Amino acid sequence: MNLYSVAAIVVFAATYLGIAIGRLPPLRIDRAGIALVGDSLMLAVGGMNVAEVIAAIDFNTIALLLGMMIVVANLRLSGFFRLVAGSIATRAHHPLMLLAAVTFSSGLFSAFLLNDAICLVMTPLVIDIVMRLKRDPVPYLLAVAMASNVGSAATITGNPQNILIGSFSGISYGTFAAQLSPPAAIGLVLTIVLLALTYRSEFFGGNEDLTVTAPRVRMHRWLAAKSILVVIAMMAAFFAGQPPAKVGLIAGGVLLLTRVVRSERVYREIDWPLLLMFAGLFVVVAGVENALLTPDLVSRIAGLGLNRMPVLGIATAILSNLVSNVPAVLVLKPFLAHQADPQRSWAVVAMASTFAGNLTVLGSVANLIVVQQAASRGVAIGFWEYLRIGAPLTLMTLALGLWWL
């Protein structure tokens, strides 16, 4: 092993450790910055040049993420999500109905519109509804986080790791949805059942009549109508087999053409650090592949049991909780090309990396968004409180997904 190989492995390990922790004490740097520093170090050790760095970045993934973020930003700014939340509040006359409505709306929106963005939108709305109803907010907020993870497994555009997998695998949008929508739908039902059984006093405590007047919602009706039409057209194009990155960019571009909202407001809704982190991870992984992963080594590691779907699913779930789901997918990428049925293997990785996000509060960015936003509004969701629902839900959905696939 030459000096560059050793240096590349050290850079890769340090970058992934920093991303797993979320920071590098005592430095004030986030995951996006850690990934960018990893890129610069890969360049510094001399194993990659600028052209190779550019070639390593999967711009289809970046483009689709950007387009989807613009779409969600327009829906949010138009008042569409506030209208949905108000409708849920006035029509749910029993806590179980409210739980089911929150779960299925979070899961359905997350299936098509990026779960992290949906959690950002839904969390404050759900807190507002539950507080006005004078109910315990915790089970409903857990429903937002867990349903967004489960529901996002259903399609390529449900979460960042699925977008990666869609680009790497070449699976069509319709085929992906046909494979993973059924376990995702059953997973949403399991989410409701586990939450209801765990919080019996909230859902079966005798004080179960809910009545609330919907707040007046300020809407940009034209922007909302335009955004909904664009989403419908975008979904139709996805299922018709059009390239997702192309469709996502076109949808985002169309929605930027408006006299209602200044472009700067849309840009503030976009998760630029996430896009930067993706670009950085592409380069770091490519650097260690060039330095270490010879075809013979890749073939040997792939033959250690990753060709068996249960082993692959469990390995993906464990790795996703160690380093997060997006880095886990990038690490597994070189080994899936050697599978007898690579598309099925990618489907298993998509399912396992997504469902594994429900194991702990640290399992996915969506969970952290819900917990942090709840804390800023005085609602505490502890690690163990999350785990007692998340652990059984993760085990049940993983078993279901592996059986289905």
The length of the chain is 405
Over the stretch 346-405, which tens digit does the pLDDT of each residue have? 999 999 999 999 998 878 888 888 888 888 888 888 888 899 999 999 999 999 999 998
Give the mean model confidence (pLDDT) for residues 64-73: 91
Evaluate whether 199 touches 388 at the Cβ level (below 8 Å): no
Rounded Cα gap, residues 193 and 396, in angstroms:
12
Over the stretch 242-288, which tens digit does the pLDDT of each residue have? 999 999 999 999 999 888 888 889 999 888 888 888 888 888 888 87
Residue 303 has pLDDT above 80, yes or no: no
User: pLDDT at position 108, please?
Assistant: 94
Evaluate whether 135 touches 212 at the Cβ level (below 8 Å): no
Buried b (16+ CB within 10 A) or exposed e, 91-126: ebeebbebbbbbbbbbbbbbbbbbbbbbbbbbbbbb
The dihedral sign for the CA sequence 156, 179, 241, 167 = positive
Give the mean model confidence (pLDDT) for residues 129-158: 92
Going by C-beta distance under 8 Å and a sequence separation of 6 or more, which residues neighbour residue 243?
Answer: 60
Rounded Cα gap, residues 39 and 48, in angstroms:
10
Q: Structural domain boundaries of the chain? A: 3-404
At how many degrees (to 10) do helices 80-91 and 95-113 cross? 160
Residue whose token pair is 């160690």? 322
Q: How many helices (H) and strands (E) does the chain have?
A: 21, 0
Over the stretch 197-245, which tens digit does the pLDDT of each residue have? 999 888 887 666 666 666 666 778 888 899 999 999 999 999 998 999 9
- The more confident residue out of 30 and 199 is 199
Give the mean model confidence (pLDDT) for residues 145-170: 92
Over the stretch 103-119, which tens digit does the pLDDT of each residue have? 999 999 999 988 888 99
What tokens were used for 203?
């859902």
User: pLDDT at position 217, please?
Assistant: 64
Q: Which H or E run includes 25?
A: none
Residue 298 has pLDDT above 60, yes or no: no
Residue closest to 371 by CA, chosen among 137, 129, 83, 113: 137
State the average pLDDT for the chain.
86
Rounded Cα gap, residues 371 and 123, in angstroms:
9
What pTM was estimated for this model as a whole?
0.86
pLDDT bin (cut points 50, 70, 90) of residue 295 is low
Share of the chain above pLDDT 90, in %: 34
- Is it true that the peptide bond before 124 is cis, omega within 30 degrees of 0? no
Rounded Cα gap, residues 108 and 224, in angstroms:
18
Q: Which of 83-87, 217-221, 317-321 has the lowest mean pLDDT?
A: 217-221
Most confident range, picked from 192-201, 333-342, 374-383: 192-201
